[in-house]
Amino acid sequence: MKVLVIGGGGREHALCWKLKRSASVGEVVCAPGNPGIAADARCVPVGAEDIKGLMALATTEKPDLVVVGPEVPLVAGLGNRLREEGFAVFGPDKAAANLEGSKSFSKRLMYEAGVPTARFEVHVDVKEAIETIRSWGAPIVIKASGLAAGKGVIVAQTEKEAIDAVRGMLAGNSFGDAGSQVVIEEFLSGEEASCLFIVSGDTILPLASSQDHKALLDGDLGPNTGGMGAYSPAPCVTEIVAEQVLETIARPIIAALKKKGAEFIGTLYAGVMLTDEGPKALEFNVRFGDPECQPLMSRLKSDLGEVLLAAAEKRLDDVTLSWADGSALCVVVASDGYPGLFEKGQMIGGLDAVEAAGTTVFHAGTAEKDGAIVNAGGRVLGVTAVAASVRQAQRTVYDALAALDWPGGFYRKDIGYRAIVREER
């Protein structure tokens, strides 16, 4: 079959890479793709947020399956439009995508569904928000309700920090429309994990567990980013925990959406905190995590094309997934300055040598200039290895990265440390 993948980041590279290696898939087309994806798919220069352009592309290409990678087109209703035209689509409709598109909607639905999650309030008024902050005290979590590319959450250690954040969102314009409503949450402590599910109507198929590192700096310090590295499986997600997340978080939220008339077809990503009281939902996303997708696809042994088509066609019941033993780990290489401002257009060398050392290099923010690969975004590469243990996968990636020739890039040196501590205990 022919598959059209929407997006052009590291997640979409991992999806295209795996689809190309699926027996059921004959051709992969990607819009817009990137220079790394071009090795696995035919890239077409239509932006992932250009709904009109994507509809026109689907009409010309006539794919047997469309896989929507990022959240923005899903929240904008690309799934609805494609389904109306009769395409098989992996990715939820707008109403279900709201689970990610609006944190206030999502939290309210969690409460209705009885999903364990942090206490919260939704505010549009600065004064009332500040009253809540003063009465709950710090630490406290402030979230822009709308989409903010992974940057709209402030885990405030002091009341002042929290107040500055709500002022920035509600009175200022720090996240534009996305910050016109804020969600204030009780701070939860524990270890975090990403639990992903392929969902098709009532059928919910768990993927292998994974964990990402959102913080910029070693030791999980510094500001949050889109994600600086990830690995799978996550040793803290035991079989019991996985079962709890499925039964108390994933099933009830999908059922609650259905009750509202929104059927879910796509990837449900539950960000969970493993607290002393059991797993609690931090948030939902409606697509694969980036970078979690890179280690997950590296470990998946099943035919991805078949799985996603079965979900799109609502026959997921018969599908089971199989995974490579051992662990996969991905280290993100970012542009110096990210998540703030950074310079683009720097030459990146040594990529072949990095791969020759036993890794797969997934491209995210890269471009091609005069035949060379240059940086074009904040997060640029996801260097991934599969090995018998997290420790070994980590070693392979970091050893390979010694061959990377890009002085303007940086990466964390400790991706996977929590898992390694558990592994070696």
155 binds, among Mg ion, ligand ATP, none (CB under 5 to 8 A by kind): ligand ATP
CB of 307 to ligand ATP, least distance (A): 23
153 binds, among Mg ion, ligand ATP, none (CB under 5 to 8 A by kind): ligand ATP
CB of 99 to ligand ATP, least distance (A): 11
185 binds, among Mg ion, ligand ATP, none (CB under 5 to 8 A by kind): ligand ATP
5 binds, among Mg ion, ligand ATP, none (CB under 5 to 8 A by kind): none
Contacts of 349 (CB under 8 A, 6+ apart): 372, 404, 405, 406
Phi then psi dihedrals of residue 393, to 5 deg: -65, -40
Q: Kindly list the residues in this chain that would bind Mg ion in the complex (CB under 5 A).
A: 283, 285
Q: Whose Cβ is closer to Mg ion: residue 283's or residue 303's?
A: 283
311 binds, among ligand ATP, Mg ion, none (CB under 5 to 8 A by kind): none
Q: Whose Cβ is closer to ligand ATP: residue 220's or residue 336's?
A: 220
Measured CA to CA, the distance from residue 61 to residue 92 in angstroms comes to 21
Q: Whose Cβ is closer to Mg ion: residue 209's or residue 285's?
A: 285
Give residue for tokens 């009769």: 86
192 binds, among Mg ion, ligand ATP, none (CB under 5 to 8 A by kind): ligand ATP
12 binds, among Mg ion, ligand ATP, none (CB under 5 to 8 A by kind): none
Measured CA to CA, the distance from residue 403 to residue 217 in angstroms comes to 22
Measured CA to CA, the distance from residue 141 to residue 185 in angstroms comes to 5
Q: Whose Cβ is closer to Mg ion: residue 35's or residue 229's?
A: 229
CB of 409 to ligand ATP, least distance (A): 21
Q: Kindly list the residues in this chain that would bind ligand ATP in the complex (CB under 6 A).
A: 118, 141, 143, 150, 152-153, 155, 185, 187-188, 192, 214, 224, 271, 282-283, 285
168 binds, among Mg ion, ligand ATP, none (CB under 5 to 8 A by kind): none
Q: Whose Cβ is closer to ligand ATP: residue 70's or residue 235's?
A: 70
CB of 268 to Mg ion, least distance (A): 12
CB of 25 to ligand ATP, least distance (A): 28
Q: Compute the Cα dihedral for 25, 38, 33, 82 and give only its sign.
A: negative
CB of 277 to ligand ATP, least distance (A): 13
Measured CA to CA, the distance from residue 375 to residue 364 in angstroms comes to 9
Task: Please state, in angstroms and as integers, the Cα–Cα distance from residue 408 to each residue in 319, 360, 381, following that order.
Answer: 44, 21, 13
CB of 185 to ligand ATP, least distance (A): 4
Q: Whose Cβ is closer to ligand ATP: residue 210's or residue 375's?
A: 210
Q: Whose Cβ is closer to Mg ion: residue 166's or residue 282's?
A: 282
Task: Please state, in angstroms and as integers, the Cα–Cα distance from residue 274 to each residue in 25, 193, 374, following that order.
Answer: 38, 8, 39
Q: Whose Cβ is closer to Mg ion: residue 226's or residue 409's?
A: 226
CB of 178 to Mg ion, least distance (A): 11
CB of 187 to ligand ATP, least distance (A): 5
Q: Whose Cβ is closer to ligand ATP: residue 40's or residue 290's?
A: 290
Nearest Cα to Cα of residue 334 among 294, 377, 373: 377
CB of 215 to ligand ATP, least distance (A): 8
Q: Which residue is nearest to ligand ATP (CB)?
A: 150
214 binds, among Mg ion, ligand ATP, none (CB under 5 to 8 A by kind): ligand ATP
389 binds, among ligand ATP, Mg ion, none (CB under 5 to 8 A by kind): none
